[in-house]
Amino acid sequence: MYPINVLQLLKELNDKDICYLHWKSNEHLDEGLSGKTDLDILIAEEKYDLFVECLINNNYIKVVSMVWQQYPYVEDWIGYCNETGVQTHIHLHIRLITGKPYVKEQYLPFSEMMFNSKRYVFPGVYITDPNLEVIVLLIRTVIKQSSIIPIANNKYYSFGKNAKTEFEYLKKTLEVEAVRKYATLIFPDNSELLISIIFEKCSNKRMLRLKRLVIDMFEKDRRYGYMYSCLLSSIRYYYIKIRAYLGIPLCTKKAIASHKGLIVAFLGVDGSGKTTIAKRITKDFGWKIDFRYFYLGSGDGSRSILTRVLRRYTVLKRAKRFSNEFHDSADKQTSLPNLYRGPKGFKLLISNIVTVSNAKAKLLACQEMNDLRNKGGIAITDRYPQLQFSGINDGVHILDVGVGFLSRINRMLQKREMNLISEACRYSPDVVIKLDIPFDVSRARKHDSTDESIKQKINIIKSLNYVGANEYVVDNTGELEKTILEVKKIIWKEMKEAK
C-alpha cells in the first residue's frame, strides 16, 4: 500500500502533463514509493516551478543536506502522509549528475533521450527505459570508482552490492536491438563494447576500456578534473571515518530549507506519556531530518552531572525527601526559622545546590535547542522551564525563607536559580503540545503522587502559556498510535509553515 500523498502527487503530475521520470534504481521503485528508500526524480528544467507546486500541494517540504552532501541541480524534498504517518524522500534532479561519493562531479547529457523513451508503469509513474537504464548504470559505476581498475584481465568485474542487484534485475528485461540502438547513440564508434559487457561477459578488461572511454568522452561535462575529484572524494570519506572513529559527533541529517527550525515542547501531568511520545516522534521523524530529543526535568534523564553523581550515592534522594517535607511545611505556614539549622539545614542545602545545577543544565539545553532551531533542526523537549508557577512544574523551586548563615547561602542559590530559569525562558518554544489525561487516569498510571498534587498539576498545565508559541491540546486517553499520528500531523504542519 502506497502513501496517499504519493499517489495524489503522481496523479497531479500526470494530469498537468509535467515531464518527469524516475531515472535510476528502478529495481527498488516499490520501496521508494512506499517510503522505505529514496526516489530519484528527473524533471524537465522548464517544468521546475510546476513540479515544486505539486510537491507543496501534497504535503512535501524542502530540506537541505550538510554542505559536503549538497550538489548542484539536486534538491531534497520530504513528504508526509497524514493518514499513515509514512515519510517519502525525493531527490529532485533538475539536471543529471553523478560521480564519486561526496563529490558528484559528472553531468550526463542523456536527459532528452530519457524523456523521449520513458515508460509508464504501475502505480502511474514514468521510469527510464530499462534498455537505456542499464547503459547509464554502467557509466555511473565506472565514474563512481575513485581509482583505475587495477588488473585489466578477463575476470568478472566486481560490482558493488546495490549496483550488482540493479544490473541483474535489468538484464532480465533487456532487448538486444534496443540496447544496441541506445549504445550507438551514446558511443557511435564503441557500441559493441557495451553489448559485450551486458550480454557476454562483464570483465575487468572491458570495464577498464569503458572507464577510459567515459573519461575522455564526457570531459567537457565534468565539474572538476578527474584527479581532483578522486582526491576530494577520498579526503571527505576519510574525514567522516576519522571523526566516527574518534567519537566526534557529525550531523548527517537534513535541515528545513528555510533554516528556521522548531522547538516543540511536550507538557503534561505524570503519566500523560510525555517521554514515550517525545522519544517516538524523535525516532520516527529523525529518519532523514535532524530531530533531537531533550529532557528538561530533574528525574533520571537529567542533564546535570551533579544530579547524576549524587543519585548514585542516594544522597539526592534523602535530600529531596526532606526538601519536599520542607515545602509542605512552608505551604502550611508552620514555623520556619530553624529549618536551616543543624543536619536538616545541610540536607536542604544539598537539595538546593542540586536544584541550581539542574537549572544551569536546563539553560544550556535551551541554548543548544535554540542553536539547533536556527540551523533548521527540530528540538523535541520533554517539559519546559517556566516562571508562572513556583515550586512545581519546572518553575523556580528554592524558597527565600529562614534565618542564619545557611539561609543566607540559600538566598544566593534562590537568586541564582531565578536568573538561570529566567534566561532559559528567553528561548521560548515554537510549539507547545499539552497531553491531556483526566485525574483518574493519571492516578492509575502514577501511584507515587498524591491526589492533591495531581489535581494541582492538571490545573497548572492548563494555565501555562508561552509567548509566541502555538498551543495544541491532545487527548491521550485512547490508543497510543492514534495519539502519535495526531501529534505527527501537528508537527509536520508547523514544519511546513516555519519561516
Buried residues in 172-181 as b, exposed as e (16+ CB within 10 A): eeeeeeebbe
> Among candidates 107, 156, 110, which has minimal Cα distance to 133?
110
Whole-number average pLDDT of the chain: 87
What confidence score (pLDDT) does residue 75 get?
96
What confidence score (pLDDT) does residue 337 get?
47
What confidence score (pLDDT) does residue 333 get?
43
What confidence score (pLDDT) does residue 159 get?
84
Q: Mind listing the pLDDT tens digit for each residue in 419-456?
A: 999 999 999 999 999 999 998 888 887 777 788 888 88
Cell of 31: 520501496
Maximum Cα–Cα distance across the chain:
101
- Return the percentage of the chain with pLDDT > 70, whole number: 87
What confidence score (pLDDT) does residue 301 get?
55
C-alpha–C-alpha distance, residues 88 and 37, integer Å: 8
Question: Band of the pLDDT at 145, cuts 50, 70, 90?
Answer: confident
- Reduced to 3 states (helix: H, G, I; strand: E, B; else coil), residue 139 is helix
Question: Band of the pLDDT at 330, cuts 50, 70, 90?
Answer: very low
Dihedral angle over CA of 56, 61, 62, 66, nearest 10 = -170
What confidence score (pLDDT) does residue 341 get?
53
Q: Mind listing the pLDDT tens digit for each residue in 351-372?
A: 788 888 889 999 999 999 999 9
Q: Mind listing the pLDDT tens digit for each residue in 84-95?
A: 999 999 999 999
Question: Band of the pLDDT at 311, cuts 50, 70, 90?
Answer: low
Considering only residues 333 and 491, tell me which one the structure prediction assigns the higher pLDDT: 491
| Domains of the chain with CATH codes | 4-236 (no CATH), 260-497 (3.40.50.300)
Least confident of 169-178, 223-232, 418-427: 223-232
Residue 308, pLDDT > 80, answer no
Q: Quick count: other Cβ atoms within 10 Å of Cβ 307?
A: 18
Q: Quick count: other Cβ atoms within 10 Å of Cβ 220?
A: 7
User: Crossing angle of helices 315-331/342-374, nearest 10°?
Assistant: 100
Global pTM reads: 0.88
DSSP for residue 222: B
Query: How many CA atoms, within 13 angstroms, populate the side-chain half-sphere of residue 381?
Result: 30
What's the burial of 316, exposed, middle or buried (CB within 10 Å: 0-12/13-18/19+)? buried
Q: Quick count: other Cβ atoms within 10 Å of Cβ 362?
A: 28
> At which residue does the C-alpha cell 491532545 appear?
474
What confidence score (pLDDT) does residue 383 get?
93
Query: DSSP 3-state helix, strand, coil percentages of the chain (rounded to 5)?
Result: 50, 15, 35
Highest average pLDDT, of 34-43, 320-329, 383-392, 449-458, comes from 34-43
Residue 384, pLDDT > 60, answer yes
Q: Mind listing the pLDDT tens digit for each residue in 56-68?
A: 999 999 999 988 8
Residue 412, pLDDT > 80, answer yes
DSSP 75-129: EEEEEE-TTT--EEEEEEESS-EE-STTT--EE-TTHHHHHHT-EEETTTEEE--
Residue 487, pLDDT > 70, answer yes
Q: Mind listing the pLDDT tens digit for each residue in 460-483?
A: 999 999 999 999 999 999 899 999
Residue 73's region, left for phi above 0, alpha for psi from -120 to 50, else beta, is left
